[in-house]
């Protein structure tokens, strides 16, 4: 997981070396990013975006140029103490990757279902207790990461709506399960454990239940907490 995050961060840095022009920034995208900043602007928020610069040079933001306009292509804000996402995130309509591992999120805004180009959504190591139902509308998702959360109960059948899914990670949660054979088969086929960078199965989800937000053993986790 750390290796993957380092790769993403490096790509963001490389992309931002391009000579982006602030005057070409999409106004709606800038508004969305500022709304994200304002929603998490307490002292613990781990980024300091300089609004005098193009947002293409802001930490964790990577751009592409569409019709001579700078738009956000993906965001990597790993371990930045993010507690909420505002509804304005829906303005990032060109977003294909959203990497928010290691934050404090417990829910997603309803409007996130408007990010129809989203291909990768990483929400591992957050505080979710149930799988956000807004995700099931993101039918272009290929990579969904929800491991190391506090997820409980049945895995929704709506997971089968994600027809483009290539990898899903649900390991190291509290008590996930499913009674539906179609759901089990999908996880057996698409399951992935990012902590091991290896395939994972429905049985692996059951085996890692009880960790509740940690990929330590359940007993050791309880001792530390």
Angle at 127 between CA 201 and CA 1, to 5 degrees: 50
pLDDT band of residue 8 (cuts 50, 70, 90) is low
CA 142 to chain centre: 12
- What gap in Å lies between CA 168 and CA 207, rounded to an integer? 16
* Distance separating alpha carbons of residues 152 and 65, to the nearest angstrom: 41
Whether 195 has a pLDDT exceeding 70, the answer reads: yes
Among 29, 11, 45, residue whose Cα is nearest residue 90: 29
pTM attached to this predicted model: 0.85
Percent of the chain predicted with pLDDT > 70: 85
Mean predicted lDDT score pLDDT of the chain: 88
Range 57-72 average pLDDT: 95
Which tops the pLDDT comparison, 203 or 5? Answer: 203
pLDDT tens-digit readout, 136-152: 999 999 999 999 999 99
Please indicate whether residue 88 or residue 48 has the higher confidence score (pLDDT): 88
Task: Map out the domains of the chain with their CATH numbers.
Answer: 2-224 (3.80.10.10)
Q: Which range, of 12-21, 34-43, 105-114, averages the lowest pLDDT?
A: 12-21
Q: What is the dihedral of CA 100, 103, 109, 114, to 10 degrees?
A: 0
Query: In this predicted model, which residue has the larger pLDDT, 141 or 43?
Result: 141
pLDDT of the residue at 131: 96
Run of H or E including 218: helix 218-224
């Amino acid at each position: 997981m750390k290796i993957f995050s380092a790769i993403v961060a490096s790509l963001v840095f490389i992309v931002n070396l391009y000579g982006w022009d602030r005057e070409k920034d999409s106004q709606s995208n800038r508004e969305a990013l500022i709304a994200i900043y304002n929603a998490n602007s307490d002292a613990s928020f781990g980024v300091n975006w300089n609004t005098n610069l193009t947002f293409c040079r802001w930490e964790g933001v990577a751009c592409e140029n569409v019709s001579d306009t700078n738009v956000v292509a993906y965001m990597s804000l790993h371990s930045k103490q993010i507690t909420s996402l505002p509804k304005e995130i829906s303005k990032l309509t060109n977003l294909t990757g959203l990497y928010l591992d290691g934050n404090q999120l417990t829910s997603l805004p309803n409007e996130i279902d408007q990010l129809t180009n989203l291909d990768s959504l990483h929400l591992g190591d957050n505080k979710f207790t149930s799988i956000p139902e807004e995700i099931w509308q993101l039918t272009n998702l290929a990579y969904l990461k929800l491991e190391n959360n506090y997820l409980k109960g049945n895995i929704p059948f709506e997971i089968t709506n994600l027809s483009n899914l290539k990898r899903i990670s649900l390991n190291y949660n509290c008590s996930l399960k499913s009674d539906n054979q179609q759901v089990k088969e999908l996880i057996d086929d698409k399951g992935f454990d990012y902590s091991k960078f290896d395939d994972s199965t429905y049985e692996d989800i059951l085996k890692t239940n009880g960790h509740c937000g940690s990929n330590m053993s359940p007993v050791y986790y309880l001792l530390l907490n």
